[in-house]
Chain A
C-alpha cells in the first residue's frame, strides 16, 4: 500500500533554466536546475557568457596598458585586482615600492573590500526575498566610498591608479580627513545591516542551515575568502602570506562555524568591522608626505625573464596572478586565478538537496561576480 502510494506521488524530474539573463544570477550566468518537486537534484552551471579574453589581451599589451584590463576582470573590487597584477610585475621587475604608496594601497584596497561587501549585503538581501531596502542601503554606503575613489583616481569603478612601482599620482591633500569621514558613514552602515539582518527571525530562518558545505569539501573545491572561512577554515592571504604592510597591522581572521549561508553572510559582516579597524591603523601609521614612486622609473618597463605567482586577498578570496615574462615589455603569459571561479565549483555540492529558492540563495552567498569568473 505504502509503496503504491509513493509511486502515485512519484514525480518526473524537471529541468529548469535559470539565466543567463536573470536578475538573481548577478550577471550573465546560466544554470540548469534538475528539480524534483521543490527539491534540487542537480545543478549544471554554464559559465563563459562574459568571457572577454582579458588574459590574452594583456599578453599583447605592455604592463601599463594591461592595468585597465585587470580592472575589468573584477569590477566590484578593481583596486584589489590591480594590486595583484602590479605586485606581480613589481616582483618580476624587482621594484621597491615606497612605503607611503604601500599604505595608500592598503587603505584603498580595504575600502574597496568594504564597498564590495556592502554590494554583497544588498544583493544578498534581495536574494533572500527582501525587496529593495537592503539593496538601496548597500548602494548608499558604496556611493560614499566610490565618491572618495573618484576624488583620488578620477574614476568610479575602473581606477587604473596603481602602477608598477607605486601609484599613478598622489592622493588628494585632504585624503586622511576624507577617509575618516567615509569610515564614519561605513560604521553606521555596518550597524544598519547588522540591525536589519543578523537577528531578524525571518532572515535567520531563511538562511540558517541552508547550503551547507564542510571544511574538507570547501578546501577540496579550492574555495577561498569569506566563503571558505565561513566553513571554519582560518585561511586568509593577508595573514598567511602578508603582503604590503599587513604584518604590521593587528586584525582578526573571521571564521564561521556551520559553513551555511548565514555564516557566509555573517563572516562578511564581521569582516567589514575588521576592515574598518585595518584602515584606522593604516591612517595612524601612514606618513603624510613622501614619494609614491621609485626615484628612477624607465619610460617603458621591461622585466627580466622569469615567472611569478602572486596572490592577494580580494573580497571574494584569493586573487592570484601568474605572470611569465620572456624579457620583453609585456607578459609572455598571464593567468588570473580568480576566487569566484573556484568558489562557484562548489555550487552543486551546496545546492543539491535544497529547495529551488535556496539555490538562488546559495549562489548569492558566494558573492558571485561574473566578470571575475569568466574574465
Chain B
C-alpha cells in the first residue's frame, strides 16, 4: 500500500507544477536560430538577384538526389551592361521536399552561401494533399528570402564560437 500511495503522491505533485505543453496551432514555440526545416534559396538584396549560380555542387552532394539545378548566362552581368558580377545564374531549381532528409549537406557544400535551411515555422508546416505539391520550384524557394522574411544561419563546418 505504501508504494501505491507514493506513486499517487508523485502524480499529485505534478498538479503544482507549471504545464509543459503548448496550445500548438495557436501558440508556436520559438525556434532556435539553428533550426533545420527544409532548404531554401537566398536572395541577394543588394544586387536584387539570387545568390545561387547554379553550380550543381549541392545537387551532386545531396544523398537522396532530391534537387534539380539548371543554370543560364546571367542577363544582368557586367559584360552585358548589368550590375552583377555573377557570370552564370540559376535558371531553374527544384527541390523535392518529400524526399529531402534535411541533412544540411547542400548548405555545407555551397561555395556562394546561396542556400540555407529554413529556420522558421513555414518550413515545418508543409502538409499538402498531394506529394507532388512538395516539389518546390525556384520561385517558391526564393520567395521567403526575397521578402526578407528569414534570418538564416549558414554554418561553416568546423567553426568554433570564437
Q: Could you list which residues of chain A lie within 8 angstroms of chain B, going by C-beta atoms?
A: 61, 64-69, 72, 133, 140, 143, 150-155, 158, 160, 163, 165-173, 192, 195-204, 289-293, 297
Contact = CB atoms under 8 A, between A and B. Distances in A.
B4 A158 contact: no
A171 B160 CA distance: 8
27 contacts: A61-B63, A65-B61, A68-B103, A69-B63, A140-B20, A150-B31, A152-B34, A154-B32, A154-B117, A160-B103, A160-B104, A163-B157, A165-B158, A166-B158, A168-B157, A170-B160, A171-B161, A172-B34, A192-B10, A195-B6, A195-B9, A199-B2, A200-B3, A201-B4, A203-B7, A291-B158, A292-B158
Given A199-B3, A199-B6, A67 B34 contact: no
Contacts of A150: 31-32, 34-35
B157 A155 contact: no
Nearest to B62: A65
B82 interface: no
A150 B2 CA distance: 40
Interface of B: 1-4, 6-7, 9-11, 13-14, 20, 31-32, 34-36, 61, 63, 101-105, 108, 117, 119, 155-162
A292 B160 contact: yes
B103 A169 contact: no
A293 B61 contact: no
The 5 closest A-B pairs by CB, nearest first: A293-B158, A199-B3, A195-B10, A154-B36, A65-B63
A8 B105 CA distance: 68
B161 A155 contact: no
B158 A169 contact: yes
Contacts of A199: 2-3, 6-7
Nearest to B162: A289
Given A68-B103, A195-B10, A202-B4, A154 B156 contact: no
Given A150-B32, A160-B104, A169 B7 contact: no
